[in-house]
Amino acid sequence: MRSLAFVIFFTGVFAIVKGQQKEISFGIFTGLTSPYTFDSGINRDSRYEQPNQVKLLPLGISFGLDYQGYGFVITPSIINIGQDMNIVNITGGVEGKRGINLKYVQVPVSLKLHAIDVSSLKVSVVAGVAAAYLLDGNETVTHNSAKYRFPTEVFPILPPDYVVEYDGVLAPSLSKVEIVSRQDLKTFQLFASVGFRSDWDFKQAWRVSFDLRANYGFNETRDDAYRSQTKTNAKLYDLHGDRREMFVSLSVGIARFIEVKHTKSFSKSKSNPKKKRKN
């Protein structure tokens, strides 16, 4: 509902500025995302560390509408987010990975405020909101046979081949064991974004754009049923905690644009002078 309100708002703004001179652009773009998963359960689990990483932003399309001083841009695309965690042994050595994989199709609607607006260059502050639908997602665990610092709250559910020792738990190797499936994830997400965008008209009717943004997901990604399970009984590799997905996106696009000039039309009124009376 919040995303619908934003769409209605922007549609109303479009109607208000309909009569102004404008530039309309259509194009494609691609880029990269650097995801960050904030999870209070993972943060208190010494088995994990969070490295920086980059994921591909597949091809998307863009529609832009620019006026003097401000503009709008709509950029539907598919995004890959979810931060992969390193799994570390008791001495801090990396032994494996917990992969968080989320693929959404999103439709961001953004407002641009032009800080620089000259004939061939626009540099803008950008703020937007995006409704997103989950296409696919899961979480998997892969690690070597090693000794790990398992939280004591999972000791009662350790399988027989997990051996508790005085300084940790000796665990067997695992290969892509799924701990969260597609069915455990919510299908809808709402993102807010803020950042900077530059549009450079490098050739007549052609424009290249660079867009750098920080994005924040408002909704918990996992559904209530899964979260209630982890709250009642901790899972072997997943402690209960709140989660939010964030990411930085950098995209590069090319678009064709046209200028639409508004011209006022005047209607001529014909006068009907009264005929002189004959004397």
Cross-strand partners of 137:
102
Residue 3: is its pLDDT beyond 60?
Answer: no
Mean pLDDT of the chain: 89
How far, in Å, are 23, 115, 121, 211, 246 from residue 69 at the CA level?
Answer: 12, 8, 12, 18, 29
Give the pLDDT of residue 186.
97
Give the pLDDT of residue 20.
66
Write out pLDDT tens, residues 219-230: 999 999 999 988
The fraction of the chain above a pLDDT of 70, given in percent, is 86
Task: Tell me which of 3.40.50.1390, 3.20.20.70, 1.10.3720.10, 2.40.160.20 is the CATH number of domain 2-41+50-88+100-136+183-260.
Answer: 2.40.160.20
Give the pLDDT of residue 278.
47
Residue from 127, 278, 141, 152 nearest 214 by CA? 127
Q: What band does 263 get if pLDDT is binned at 50, 70 and 90?
A: low
C-alpha to C-alpha distance for 34 and 55, rounded to whole angstroms: 6
| Cβ count near 83 (within 10 Å) | 23
* Claim: this prediction has a pTM higher than 0.75: yes
Q: What is the mean pLDDT of residues 164-171?
A: 96
Give the pLDDT of residue 176.
96
Report residue 122 as tokens.
């626009």
